[in-house]
Chain A
Amino acid sequence: MSDTTIEPTHHQLIDRVVIRFAGDSGDGMQLAGDRFTTSSALFGNDLATFPDFPAEIRAPAGTLAGVSAFQVHISDHDISTPGDSPNVLVAMNPAALRANVAALPQGATIIVNSDAFDDRNLTKAGYESDPLADGSLSAFTVYEVPMTSITTESSKEIGVKPRDAERSKNFFALGLISWLYTRPVEPTLEWIAEKYVGKELILEANQRAFKAGYHFGETAELFESSYEVRPAVLAPGEYANITGNTAAAWGLVAASIRSGLPLFLGTYPITPASDILHELSKHKQFGVRTFQAEDEISGIGAALGAAFGGALGVTTTSGPGIDLKAEMMGLAISLELPLLIIDIQRGGPSTGLPTKTEQADLLHAMYGRHGEAPMPIIAAKTPSHCFDATLEAVRIAVKYRTPVMLLSDGYLANGTEPWKLPDLESLPEIDPGFATGPNHVEEDGTEDFWPYLRDEDTLARPWAPPGLAGLEHRIGGLEKSDGPGNVAYDGANHEHMTRLRAAKVAGIAADIPPTDVDHEEGAEILVIGWGSTYGAIAAGVQRVRARGLKVDQAHLVHLNPFPADLGDVLKRYERVLVPEVNLGQLSRLLRAEYLVDARSLTQVSGIPFRAAAMESAILQLIEELTAEKKAEDDEEGSDR
């Protein structure tokens, strides 16, 4: 061996980086990404994540269909998206490379598990020649690391089965990236120790693989530099990294505590909503009842039955599940009982794209029931906002005795961001305001209970769960008379009741905040969105503003009814742009409601919008507006 001195590795500070871990469904890429995220969160970075996995649990190994990826964006400043395109791609096999290489900008770093680049895997991935050798990756910096063999070697002496040893290679990749981006190693080693307690050989193999990856980065002289992303400046407080589904589940627990209503979740497993059921079923000490029903209809039916009994009735679903629940929503509207329906939207129609995000259920939420069946709609805008949105949806459901649809989507459900933990006491109190006694006196002086005698302000009817003597009453799906609530078929009453139900929901507009506009003096263009596009729109708007141009952003949380001032807000702008992950549903509602020329920007490719797409759409509108003004000026000039 020569005794040349080892060049000390360079260490560079960077402000942000986007890393994508990609491999086979069984390679543990979600786990590697998730652990990297957690150690970054503990380190103090701001971050956003985007897991992207196939619907098949284990698609054929080595194929494009089986590629599972996890993208994480870490930063030393406030960020709102998981990043447009990765700076670093970790590809565990040729399929993972092939499926993701198109997303990389020139100059990106690719770290491949070179052991997996054999003829068989290359063929399975559809490569005719080896991309590591044929020059097709010349635009990128490629590092070939024999991850499988080093991983296996690292645990050889402890006697773990070769197959188990090989399975630790995700921890090798994690260790390597942890070195490259100067992540603390202790949290991951501790996590492995906790997670695999009782499986000592696997525990040891995983820790060895992780350390081997870390040391490989340090000693292999392959990498010119390691990098560091400093902690972001976040408001003081305690934080947790949270997915939208966990936030929704915790929001339900909070709503149950703040309302004093016992929580009942009736649901049927469906991707990507099931994690709310999983999370809630763990926390029975809060008096939470979770009911895994025989089908989607039973899930919402049981939730409605629980609501009739005075519980906080909730159902969760996605995709086709929302179709199946429509009839029961209509009953809840007719019964005027509080009920929360959480729809974690996914690609449709039919089974569609179960694991991919879409926001194409807005019009279903708005109109997807027979008859005139108005229902309030709330949409969450970021993973952690699922918590607040859940509380708001429950507030409205309880106060107005109505089913409420809460819209989330696959991107929010599985994506994460750091969340400043709230104090329970700071959360809104929700008063169930149960009926306590008779509310009507008959002509003969006897007291009576009228289930449809409405509150003058809210137009809500009394909520009288069984148990109080003197309040016995019958309700049902047949049209009922205003006040006594007896079955009534006459046309005039139906007209009256139909308008009353509509007025009740419309009246909620007076009870919600005005449109939240991120306004700059002089802006003539408004970008307005709803749901999970928030981060991408915010990032796009920031990019445009960074060019010294003006644009405003508004994001709707209340979609039915809209904020009372929304029409006035929209009319203040020369151009209104509505980006949506559907074919233009909010834009249609805005055009119909306010007669504004809302422009639609749409995408339904199963992935969230990129900030760059937002930026270029806004720039195009600015250009168009400038050209139009110039033409007007020219015309005026020629008239003179």
Chain B
Amino acid sequence: MTDVTEAVPVPLTTRKDWSSDQEVRWCPGCGDYSILSAVQMLMPDLGVRRESTVFLSGIGCAARFPYYMDTYGMHSIHGRAPAIATGLATTRPDLDVWVVTGDGDALSIGGNHLIHALRRNVNITILLFNNQIYGLTKGQYSPTSEMAKVTKSTPFGSLEHPFNPLSLALGAEASFVARTHDMDRKHMMETFRRAHAHKGASFVEIYQNCNVFNDGAFEQITGKEHRADMLIPLVHAEPIRFGAEGQFGVIMDPDGSVEVVLVADVGEDALLVHDEHKENPGLAFQLSRLSRGPYEPTPVGVFRDVDHEEYGEQMADQIAMATERRGPGDFAALLRSGSSWTVE
């Protein structure tokens, strides 16, 4: 038999095809622009269809993202995009569902939905724009702001210990966890490509500069002149090594913690070899806590990429199994599934 449902090839597209006609309204100089370009430039490469792509967001500066993509999209309410995405991705496994969120949206008001979407391994790709500040409400501290930060709502300094988004995601059983930053389009594209390819929930933290309310928050590590010595690229199965001359590396101490060392001091063989696919999240967790903030050498790239069962697929399997076992739904039989009787 010939296959009558021969797939229509995915049309070739360019960045322009993925850009909507809406004027982009972020502040000039905002890091969001470069993230948007990276996504729009990546899409033609992914071999996916515009009509099968959905961008969902909550509230915040980042949440305007869907308006600028010429795909299906929804700009929803604060913190709830992972919940909405769960319903969509579970009922429509044929779609590519992206969630665009920020540090306030994902980690403050929407923290509950984020951790549960990750735990369930719903097939969605979450891009968290972390600028460590509330931008849309004009400059209050966020759950990723450093302690003692002086903002409009903390004139005497913030009293709150910040979240480490990657540690949080790993603690929430995320099967794909990565970090990139808005100053390196190539790295963003590669990271997003990996996140998209992953089956289940993918979590990407993007260090994003808010040039109005928190300018330069990541400058010490993402600035061109600092990058080589301050960003630690994670490459699967490779020793973790960085620095302009490759002079730095990461080792694991006998107590299981990781630290940055001079390669010359320990020797190449002592360096920790990265393993994205380790089922035990311990290594990824240690790496997520190697840096205490964006002023110390900080790993970027894929921390964890493991193959877990995807939520929607499992739900579809249960439906298939029930249908196989009992036959397709018979409504008349359903009505008679308890005690029924006949009146003549």
Check if A487 is an interface residue, CB within 8 A of chain B: yes
The smallest beta-carbon distance between B20 and chain A, in angstroms, is: 7
For the complex, what is the distance from the CA of A7 to the CA of B326, rounded to whole Å? 55
Query: A304 with B329: in contact, given A238-B336, A239-B341 (CB under 8 Å)?
Result: no
Interface-forming stretch among A53-61, A471-479, A543-551, A557-565? Answer: A471-479
Query: A475 with B75: in contact, given A253-B329, A305-B88 (CB under 8 Å)?
Result: yes
Closest to B317 in A: A284
A335 proximity list for chain B (CB < 8 A): 74
Q: In the complex, are the beta carbons of B90 and A478 less than 8 A apart?
A: no
Interface string of B258-278 (1 = CB under 8 A from A): 000000000000000000000
Check if B67 is an interface residue, CB within 8 A of chain A: yes
Query: A42 with B343: in contact, given A285-B327, A298-B113, A487-B67 (CB under 8 Å)?
Result: no
Closest to A298 in B: B83
Query: A294 with B113: in contact, given A283-B329, A306-B87, A468-B51 (CB under 8 Å)?
Result: yes
B137 proximity list for chain A (CB < 8 A): none
B9 proximity list for chain A (CB < 8 A): none
B52 proximity list for chain A (CB < 8 A): 466-467
Interface string of B70-104 (1 = CB under 8 A from A): 11111111001001111111111011000000000
Check if A237 is an interface residue, CB within 8 A of chain B: yes
Check if A22 is an interface residue, CB within 8 A of chain B: no
Q: In the complex, are the beta carbons of B322 and A284 less than 8 A apart?
A: yes
The smallest beta-carbon distance between B172 and chain A, in angstroms, is: 11
Q: In the complex, are the beta carbons of B72 and A473 less than 8 A apart?
A: yes
Check if A502 is an interface residue, CB within 8 A of chain B: no
Q: In the complex, are the beta carbons of B341 and A284 less than 8 A apart?
A: no
Q: In the complex, are the beta carbons of B329 and A264 less than 8 A apart?
A: no
Query: A472 with B319: in contact, given A298-B113, A421-B335 (CB under 8 Å)?
Result: no
Closest to A486 in B: B22
Query: A305 with B86: in contact, given A466-B51, A471-B51 (CB under 8 Å)?
Result: yes
Q: In the complex, are the beta carbons of B54 and A466 less than 8 A apart?
A: yes
Q: In the complex, are the beta carbons of B66 and A474 less than 8 A apart?
A: yes
Contacting residue for B71 out of A44, A465, A472, CB 8 A: A472
For the complex, what is the distance from the CA of A478 to the CA of B344, rounded to whole Å? 59
B247 proximity list for chain A (CB < 8 A): none
Closest to B72 in A: A466
Please provide the chain A residues from 264 to 315 with a CB less than 8 Å away from any CB of chain B in the complex: 264, 266, 283-289, 291, 293-295, 297-298, 301-311, 313
Interface string of B38-75 (1 = CB under 8 A from A): 00000000000111111110000000001101111111
A327 proximity list for chain B (CB < 8 A): 77
For the complex, what is the distance from the CA of A253 to the CA of B333, rounded to whole Å? 12
Contacting residue for B339 out of A42, A303, A476, CB 8 A: A42
Q: In the complex, are the beta carbons of A310 and B92 less than 8 A apart?
A: yes
Check if B112 is an interface residue, CB within 8 A of chain A: yes
Please provide the chain A residues from 239 to 260 with a CB less than 8 Å away from any CB of chain B in the complex: 239-242, 246, 250, 253-254, 257
Residue from B86, B116, B334 with most neighbouring chain A CB atoms (10 Å): B334
Contacting residue for A309 out of B67, B87, B318, B332, CB 8 A: B87
Q: In the complex, are the beta carbons of A287 and B319 less than 8 A apart?
A: yes
Query: A240 with B338: in contact, given A306-B87, A477-B77, A487-B67 (CB under 8 Å)?
Result: yes
For the complex, what is the distance from the CA of A423 to the CA of B67, rounded to whole Å? 46
Contacting residue for A236 out of B76, B116, B343, CB 8 A: B343
Total chain A interface residues with beta-carbon distance under 8 A: 72
Query: A476 with B67: in contact, given A289-B91, A311-B91 (CB under 8 Å)?
Result: yes
A471 proximity list for chain B (CB < 8 A): 51
For the complex, what is the distance from the CA of A138 to the CA of B113, rounded to whole Å? 61
For the complex, what is the distance from the CA of A497 to the CA of B263, rounded to whole Å? 65
Q: In the complex, are the beta carbons of A304 and B84 less than 8 A apart?
A: yes
Q: In the complex, are the beta carbons of A238 and B341 less than 8 A apart?
A: yes
The smallest beta-carbon distance between A339 and chain B, in angstroms, is: 10
Check if B315 is an interface residue, CB within 8 A of chain A: yes
Check if B2 is an interface residue, CB within 8 A of chain A: no
B77 proximity list for chain A (CB < 8 A): 327-328, 330-331, 477
Q: In the complex, are the beta carbons of B112 and A295 less than 8 A apart?
A: yes
Query: A298 with B319: in contact, given A253-B329, A308-B84, A476-B66 (CB under 8 Å)?
Result: no
Query: A301 with B322: in contact, given A309-B92, A472-B51, A476-B66 (CB under 8 Å)?
Result: no
Please provide the chain B residues from 144 to 160 with a CB less than 8 Å away from any CB of chain A in the complex: none
Check if A441 is an interface residue, CB within 8 A of chain B: no
Contacting residue for B331 out of A240, A254, A291, A486, CB 8 A: A254
Q: In the complex, are the beta carbons of B22 and A297 less than 8 A apart?
A: no
A477 proximity list for chain B (CB < 8 A): 75-77
Check if A592 is an interface residue, CB within 8 A of chain B: no
Residues of A within 8 A of B (CB): 38, 41-42, 44, 187, 234-242, 246, 250, 253-254, 257, 262, 264, 266, 283-289, 291, 293-295, 297-298, 301-311, 313, 327-328, 330-331, 335, 421-424, 465-478, 486-487
For the A-B complex with A284-B318, A469-B49, A473-B73 known, give 17 more contacts whose Cβ atoms are closer than 8 Å: A38-B339, A187-B339, A234-B343, A240-B336, A240-B339, A285-B329, A289-B315, A297-B113, A301-B83, A306-B90, A308-B88, A309-B91, A311-B92, A330-B77, A421-B335, A477-B76, A486-B22
29 contacts between A and B (CB under 8 A): A236-B343, A236-B344, A237-B342, A238-B336, A238-B342, A239-B341, A250-B334, A264-B90, A266-B87, A284-B322, A285-B322, A289-B90, A297-B113, A301-B87, A306-B87, A310-B92, A330-B77, A331-B77, A424-B331, A465-B92, A467-B94, A468-B51, A472-B72, A473-B73, A474-B69, A474-B73, A476-B76, A477-B76, A478-B75
